[in-house]
Chains A and B, each alone.
Chain A
């Protein structure tokens, strides 16, 4: 299963966004997360942000298509992320991944999402397995 997958392999970087206000409104509507922090400039400004942050879940969810595009022959058994710092509306987002562990049964990938800041907005992880083993 893990032929051609080795520890240290980099997944092809995926660039998404920038997301505008209407995109955040649509995500709020479909997800039910209508926290005004994501939708109201004044609320974001009140806590020192230059613009509303993109919903962290919208960005975490975007790793799934990246992982499927990388290895569609594997099943994604888990996806997790820590929302380290806000990625703001209008910022281009770079999603990347690197294989930290690889065996015949399981591939463990470190995921990161970067906005305009030097530090990552999301640090995550995913576990992928062969379809026959799930």
Chain B
């Protein structure tokens, strides 16, 4: 059950960098012929987005552990094109989780994909130094 709607982030204008797509495909067994379905995961590490996660975890003194991930596509992403990533972060309390629901849309507003990232929030004290 959602604890509270935390905050909306973005939209962030992000480009599907062809060189990074090729590198990502190589590291995940793809053929570089198309943008890997999981490629938008790299955007979750963008400082402008991940800083919000980092700050929240520091405030709660927890470590985020990737629990699940989903990608749902209306149309494929195209290498070299730019997209707008809009993210809503919300929290669940039992167990503690951070849910990041993202929409990838063209600059014209057409939705291409929906992404959900679920992070389990583990107390830092029980997680060694793995942060």
Give A contacts to B, CB under 8 Å.
16, 23, 26-27, 30-37, 43-44, 46-47, 56-58, 60-62, 64-65, 68, 76-83, 127, 134
Task: Type the 1/0 row for B51-89, where 1 means its CB is closer than 8 Å to any CB of A.
Answer: 000000000000000111111111100000000000000
- Tell me, yes or no, whether B38 is within 8 Å of chain A by CB: yes
CB pair B71 A27 closer than 8 Å: no
Query: Which bucket holds chain B's interface residue count?
Result: 20 to 34
Please state if A46 and B42 are interface contacts (CB–CB under 8 Å). no
Tell me the number of A-to-B contacts counted with CB atoms below 8 Å. 99
* B residues in contact with A34, CB < 8 Å: 45
B31 contacts A43, CB within 8 Å? no
Interface status of B110 (Cβ within 8 A of chain A): no
B37 proximity list for chain A (CB < 8 A): 61, 64, 76, 79
Known: A47-B130, A58-B27, A134-B75. A82 touches B67 (CB 8 A): yes
B-side contacts of A64, CB under 8 Å = 28-30, 36-38
> Taking beta carbons and an 8 Å cutoff, which residues of B are in contact with A?
20, 23-24, 27-31, 36-38, 41-42, 44-46, 50, 66-75, 116, 127-131
Tell me if B's interface is mostly helix, strand, loop or mixed: mixed
Does B130 lie within 8 Å of A36, measured CB to CB? yes
Cross-interface CB contact of B29 among A16, A26, A83, A134, cutoff 8 Å? A16
Cβ contacts under 8 Å, A46 to chain B: 128-130
Q: Are B27 and A23 in contact (CB under 8 A)?
A: yes
B71 A30 Cβ-Cβ under 8 A: no
Q: Which interface residue of B30, B37, B42, B116 has the most chain A CB atoms within 10 A?
A: B37
